[in-house]
C-alpha cells in the first residue's frame, strides 16, 4: 500500500522523550511489543505507505535509538536537546527537511497500534481536499488528557485546545487530537518560526499551527479515526501489556485469514516478524518468536517454543519442544521434550 504519488511524502517520527512512567533505564520507544521495538511498528507503517524520507526526532538516549534503527532505509535523525513541546520537535526536524516541497506526515513513536491503513487514509484525504494541513481526530467517551478539537460550521479546524489550557465548556468536547498530522510543507514549514511558548506548559505547541491556518482563511481539515484503540499510547507497563495484547490478536487474526489454524488462539503468542504457511495447525500454549518461518502443512504441538528458527514444509513437533536458532528440514517429525539448537 502506498499513498498517491502526486507529491513526495516524508514522515517525522517524534521520539525524543524518556518516558519516565515506564520506570525503566531503557527509553520508552525501544521497549519491545510482539517482538519488535515500539518505534519500529510506527516506522514500518510509514514506510509501507510510501514515505520517501523519514526524520526521527531523538533526544534522550539518542545514540541507543540510532543504534537500534541502524540499517533501516531512508532514516535521518534530528536532535531535540531540550523537550520544549511538539512544535519545537518539528522545528528540530525542519533542519533535515530543508528544500523539501512535498507532504509531511507527523506521528509519535509511542503509538504502535496505528495501522498503515489509517495513515494511508490521512495522506489520501489530505491530497484530495487540498487543505494545507490534515488532522487525524477521534471521538472518545472519556477525552481526559487529550487536546480538544474545535471545528467551524464547515468542518474546518479552528483550533486545538490542550487540556491544561481548556475551560469547562471546552473540556466537555469529546473530539480529540490524536497527534497525527499531514502537512503541505511549503505552507506549514514557515509557520513553525511563529510558535510561542505562552501557555500553561511553557511549550511550543504544534497544535497552534491549526489556529494560524484558520486565521489565514485556509483551515486544516480532519479525518476521523474509525477504531479508537489505534490511538492507544504507551506510557507505562500496564499500557504496554494492553498494546501487546492488541498487536498479538491482530497477528493471530491475520494468520488465520491466511489459512493457519490455532486450536486455542488466546493461549498462543506469535511475534510480528513470524511467517507461517497455510494449513499449519498450532496447538495450545505455543510461543513463536523472533524471525521465524514455519512451512505449510506443519503441526506444532502444545507447550512448544520456537525462536529464530526455520521449519520446512510438513514438519511435526510432537509438543513440549524448544526449537531455537536452527533449521528443521521439511517432513521432519520431532518427538516430545526435544531441545534443538537451543544451547
Q: Which residues contact 241 (CB under 8 A, 6 or more apart)?
A: none
Helices (H), the chain: 38-48, 62-68, 86-94, 116-129, 168-171, 185-188, 208-215, 237-257
Which pTM was predicted? 0.92
Nearest to 343 by CA among 321, 329, 322: 322
Among residues 5, 21, 194, 237, the one annotated as catalytic is 21
pLDDT at site 201:
84
Q: Which residue has the cell 497525527?
A: 180
Q: Which residue has the cell 520506570?
A: 23
- Taking the C-alpha atoms of residue 322 and residue 304, their distance in angstroms, rounded to an integer, is 6
Q: Which residues contact 77 (CB under 8 A, 6 or more apart)?
A: 55, 56, 57, 58, 62, 65, 66, 96
What domains lie within the chain, and their CATH numbers?
9-231 (3.90.550.10), 258-340 (2.160.10.10)
Nearest to 276 by CA among 303, 257, 296, 305: 296
> Is the Cβ–Cβ distance between 115 and 45 less than 8 Å?
yes
159 is catalytic: no
DSSP state of 68: H
- Taking the C-alpha atoms of residue 264 and residue 118, their distance in angstroms, rounded to an integer, is 30
pLDDT at site 2:
53
Give the CB-side neighbour count of residue 229, counting CA atoms within 13 A: 10
Hey, what's the cell of 167? 475551560
pLDDT at site 204:
93
**pLDDT (tens digit, 9 = 90+) per residue, 48-106?**
999 999 999 999 999 999 999 987 888 999 999 998 999 999 999 999 999 999 999 99
- The pLDDT profile of the chain, 343 residues, written as one tens digit per residue, is 555 556 899 999 999 998 899 999 999 999 999 999 999 999 999 999 999 999 999 999 999 999 999 878 889 999 999 989 999 999 999 999 999 999 999 999 999 999 999 999 999 999 999 999 999 999 999 999 899 999 999 999 999 999 989 999 999 999 999 999 999 999 999 999 999 988 878 889 999 999 999 999 999 999 999 999 999 889 999 999 999 999 999 999 999 999 999 999 999 999 999 999 999 999 999 999 999 999 999 999 999 999 999 999 999 999 999 999 999 999 999 999 999 987 6
Give the CB-side neighbour count of residue 83, counting CA atoms within 13 A: 13
> Is the Cβ–Cβ distance between 232 and 250 less than 8 Å?
no
Amino acid at each position: 500500500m502506498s499513498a498517491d504519488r502526486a507529491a513526495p511524502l516524508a514522515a517525522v517520527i517524534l521520539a525524543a522523550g524518556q518516558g519516565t512512567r515506564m520506570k525503566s533505564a531503557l527509553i520508552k520507544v525501544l521497549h519491545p511489543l510482539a517482538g519488535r521495538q515500539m518505534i519500529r511498528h510506527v516506522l514500518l507503517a510509514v514506510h509501507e505507505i510510501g514515505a520517501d524520507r523519514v526524520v526521527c526526532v531523538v533526544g534522550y538516549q539518542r545514540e541507543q535509538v540510532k543504534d537500534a534503527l541502524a540499517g533501516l532505509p531512508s532514516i535521518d535523525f534530528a536532535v531535540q536537546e531540550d523537550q520544549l513541546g511538539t512544535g519545537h520537535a518539528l522545528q528540530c526536524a525542519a533542519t533535515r527537511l530543508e528544500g523539501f516541497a512535498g507532504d509531511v506526515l507527523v506521528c509519535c513513536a509511542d503509538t504502535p497500534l496505528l495501522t498503515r491503513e489509517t495513515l494511508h487514509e490521512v495522506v489520501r484525504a489530505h491530497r484530495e481536499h487540498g487543505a494545507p494541513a490534515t488532522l487525524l481526530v477521534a471521538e472518545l467517551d472519556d477525552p481526559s488528557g487529550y487536546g480538544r478539537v474545535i471545528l467551524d460550521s464547515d468542518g474546518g479546524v479552528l483550533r486545538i485546545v490542550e487540556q491544561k489550557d481548556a475551560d469547562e465548556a471546552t473540556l466537555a468536547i469529546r473530539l480529540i487530537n490524536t497527534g497525527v498530522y499531514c502537512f503541505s510543507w511549503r505552507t506549514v514549514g514557515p509557520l513553525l518560526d511563529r510558535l510561542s511558548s505562552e501557555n500553561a506548559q511553557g511549550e511550543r505547541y504544534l497544535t497552534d499551527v491549526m489556529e494560524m491556518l484558520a486565521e489565514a482563511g485556509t483551515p486544516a481539515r480532519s479525518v476521523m479515526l474509525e477504531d479508537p484503540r489505534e490511538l492507544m499510547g504507551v506510557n507505562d507497563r500496564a499500557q504496554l501489556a494492553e498494546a501487546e495484547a492488541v498487536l498479538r490478536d491482530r497477528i493471530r487474526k491475520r494468520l488465520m485469514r491466511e489459512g493457519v489454524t490455532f486450536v486455542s488462539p488466546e493461549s498462543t503468542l506469535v511475534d510480528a516478524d513470524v511467517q507461517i504457511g497455510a494449513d499449519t495447525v498450532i496447538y495450545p500454549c505455543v510461543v513463536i518468536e523472533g524471525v521465524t518461518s514455519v512451512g505449510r502443512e506443519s503441526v506444532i504441538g502444545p507447550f512448544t517454543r520456537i525462536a529464530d528458527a526455520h521449519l520446512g514444509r510438513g514438519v511435526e513437533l510432537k509438543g513440549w519442544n524448544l526449537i531455537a536458532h536452527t533449521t528443521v528440514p521439511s517432513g521432519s517429525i520431532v518427538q516430545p521434550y526435544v531441545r534443538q539448537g537451543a544451547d
